[in-house]
Amino acid sequence: MPAFIGKAFLLCLTFLCITSQSWGQSSNNQGDSSNYEQTQLSGFSDDERIKLLLLNLLPSGMTETAAEEIAKALQLNIYNTNHFSVVGPAEWNAEIKNQDPTLADCHDIACGAMIGKLFHADKVLVGTLHSEIMFNENNEEEPSFVLSIRMVDTRTNITDFSDEVQFTDLQMHDELFRLAARISDNTLLIGSVLSTKQSRISFNIGRAQGIKTGHQLVISRRTSARKKFVNDLHDNAFQNIALAEVVQVSDLSAEAVIVQKISSVANGDQVQTYIDREKLIHLISQTRKELDTQKRLKPKQRVIRKVPSIGKESSDYANWSKRFRQTKVEHDRWLYTTAGAGGATILFLSGSIKLSGILSVLPWIAGAGTVYSGIRFFHFRDLMNELSTEGRSLGFISSSFDPIPSGFHWTPVPKGFQIAWIKRF
C-alpha cells in the first residue's frame, strides 16, 4: 500500500511539471505576439503620400554632427516636394531605442529595411557622406562634400533610385533641392479619382506635384487585401484598368480623359504616374500591353435568347409590323415628295415656264423643298434599314437570300441603257 501511494504521488508531480511548462510556453508566445504588435511603430502622416524613412548618413572624414545637419536639410527638401511623408533619424531613433536598442543609429540598408517595416514605410533612403577637396572656378582648392544616396523599396528590397551629388557649403541647399526633385521625379506618384463624368475624370494631384497637360496616367483598382501583420496591416493588390491623359491642371488637382480601358473608372480608384519621362514611358507601355492582353483573354459574352411563348411572339411581331408599316408609309411619302420637288425645280430652271415678278422665287422654293424632303427621305430610309435588321434578327423576315442592294441600277439595252431606282425592304 505505501508503495502504491508513492507511485501515485510521483505521477502527480510529473503531470504538474509538464503542465506548468506548457502554460509557461503559452504565456511566452502570447507575450511575444503582444510585443510584436507593440513594435509596429508609426510616425508618418495618414495620407496617400509615399512613406519614406531616412536613415542616418554614414560620415567619412567629417563629424557626425555635420552629417546630421546635412541629413536634416535633405529631409526638409524631400518633404517640400509634397510627394513624401518623411520620418528622419531624430524621430525614429527616439522610438526605436525603447523597442530594440540594437537598431538605433542604423546606417546600412540591412537594418534599415527592418526599421522601415516596423514603421510601415514604403521606401528607405540610405546614404554615405564624405568630405573631399575640389577645385573651384578660380582653380583653387576648396573643401566639399560628396553625398551618395540609395532608395530601396521595403516590400521588394529592390533599389528604386540611386544618385550622387557633390557640393560646397554655399551650394548645399541648391544641390539638395535638385537632388530631392530627382528623387521625387523617379518615384511613383500616387493619387485617387475624385469624380467621373462620361470619359473625363478628376483626381487629387496637380501642378504642385509636377503634373502638366498631356501627362499620361495609369488607373488601377483595389482587387484584394492580403493580411500581412498580426495587427491587421494589409498589403493591397491593385489591377490596372485604364489609361488616361491630362487635359486640365490646377495647383492640387487635375482632369484627364480616358484613352483606353477594360472597365469603367469609379470614384476612389488609384491614379499612378511618374514625372520622369523614361520611367513614365516604361510604365505606360507595360500597362498598355497588360490591358491589351486582358481584353483579348476576356471571354466574350454570348446572349442566349429564350424561346418566347406564342402569345408573346405574336405580340412582338404585331408591334414590329406596325412600326414597319408606319415607317414605310412615311418613307414612300417623302420619296415621292423629293421626286416631285426635284422635277419641279428642274422644270423651273429649264426656262420652259416663263416666270416674272413674285413668281421668280418659285425655283428657290422648289429647290429648298427638294433638299428638305430629301433629308427626311434619307432619315426614314435609315429607319427602314434598322427595322429590317431587327426583323431578320427576330426571325420576322427571312435572311436566306442575298437581296440586290438598294440604289440606282443601269441595264444595257441595244440603243443605250436604262436607269432604275431599286429599293429592297
- Indicate whether 26 belongs to any domain: no
Q: List the beta bridge partners of residue 129.
A: 59, 147
Is residue 53 within 8 Å of 123, Cβ to Cβ? yes
Domain membership of residue 43 (yes or no) is no
Residue 304 one-letter amino acid: I
Secondary structure of residue 196 in the 3-state scheme: strand
Alpha-carbon distance of 281 to 360, in angstroms, equals: 67
What pLDDT score was predicted for residue 397? 67
Please give the pLDDT value at position 195.
92
User: pLDDT per position in the chain (425 positions), as tens?
Assistant: 455 445 444 444 444 444 444 444 444 444 443 443 444 556 677 777 888 989 888 888 888 888 888 999 998 999 888 888 898 888 887 787 777 777 777 878 888 888 888 888 889 999 999 888 887 777 788 888 999 999 999 888 888 889 999 988 888 889 999 999 999 999 888 889 999 988 899 999 898 888 999 999 999 998 865 444 333 333 458 889 999 999 999 988 999 999 998 888 999 999 999 998 898 999 999 998 888 887 766 665 655 555 555 455 567 778 888 888 888 889 888 888 888 888 888 887 887 777 777 777 778 888 888 889 889 888 888 888 888 877 777 766 654 444 455 666 666 666 665 667 666 55
Same domain, yes or no, for 158 and 110?
Answer: yes
User: What is the helix (H) or strand (E) element at residue 321, kind and residue range?
Assistant: helix 310-350
**Which residue in the block uniquely carries the three cell numbers 406564342?**
310
Q: Is the dihedral of CA 307, 312, 314, 316 positive or negative?
A: negative
Q: Do 247 and 172 lie in a common domain?
A: no
Structural domain contains residue 66? yes
> Does some domain include residue 109?
yes
Pairing verdict, β 123-135 and 50-54: parallel
pLDDT at 114: 83
d(CA 80, CA 417): 83
> Which cell goes with 20?
506548468
Note whether 165 and 249 are same-domain residues: no
6 assigned to some structural domain: no
| The pLDDT value given to residue 143 | 86
The reported pLDDT for the residue numbered 274 is 92
Same domain, 73 and 180: yes
Q: 3-class SS at 235?
A: strand
- Is there a single domain that holds both residue 276 and residue 332? no
Enclosing domain of residue 414? 310-422
Contacts of 197 (CB under 8 A, 6+ apart): none
φ and ψ at residue 166, rounded to 5 degrees: -120, 135
Domain boundary among 185, 205, 222: 185
Reported as type and span, the H/E element at residue 109 is helix 109-118
Number of domains in the chain: 3
Question: Within this chain, do residues 173 and 87 fall inside the same structural domain, yes or no?
Answer: yes
Is 177 found in the same domain as 62? yes
The CATH number covering residue 131 comes to: 3.40.50.10610
Q: Which of 185, 205, 227 is the last residue of a domain?
A: 185
The CA–CA distances, whole Å, from 5 to 9, 149, 265 equal: 6, 75, 79
Contacts with 8 (C-beta within 8 Å, 6 or more apart), sequence order: none
Query: Closest Cα partner for 155 from 34, 273, 43, 51?
Result: 51
**Spatial distance between the Cα atoms of 328 and 323, rounded to a whole number of angstroms:** 9
DSSP assignment, residue 249? E
- Whole-angstrom Cα distance, residue 339 to residue 336? 5
How is residue 101 annotated by DSSP? G
Do residues 196 and 274 both lie within one domain? Answer: yes
C-alpha cell at 288: 498598355
Same domain, 383 and 398: yes
Q: How far is CA 328 from CA 206, 244, 317, 335, 364, in A?
A: 56, 45, 16, 10, 29
Q: Which residue shows C-alpha cell 427576330?
A: 394
Domain membership of residue 393 (yes or no) is yes
CATH number of the domain at 247, please.
Answer: 2.40.10.410
Same domain, 94 and 152: yes
Task: Give the model's pLDDT for residue 219.
Answer: 92
Q: What pLDDT score was predicted for residue 244?
A: 93
Output the 3-class SS for 27-88. HHHHHHHHHHHHCCCCCCCCCCCEEEEECCCEEECCCHHHHHHHHHHHHHHHHCCCCEEEEC
Residue at a domain's end among 241, 264, 297: 297
pLDDT at 90: 83
Residue 71 domain-assigned (yes or no) = yes
Q: Report yes or no on 3 lying in a domain.
A: no
Nearest alpha carbon to residue 84 among 157, 151, 165: 151
Regarding whether 154 and 251 lie in a shared domain, the answer is no
Are 125 and 170 found together in one domain?
A: yes
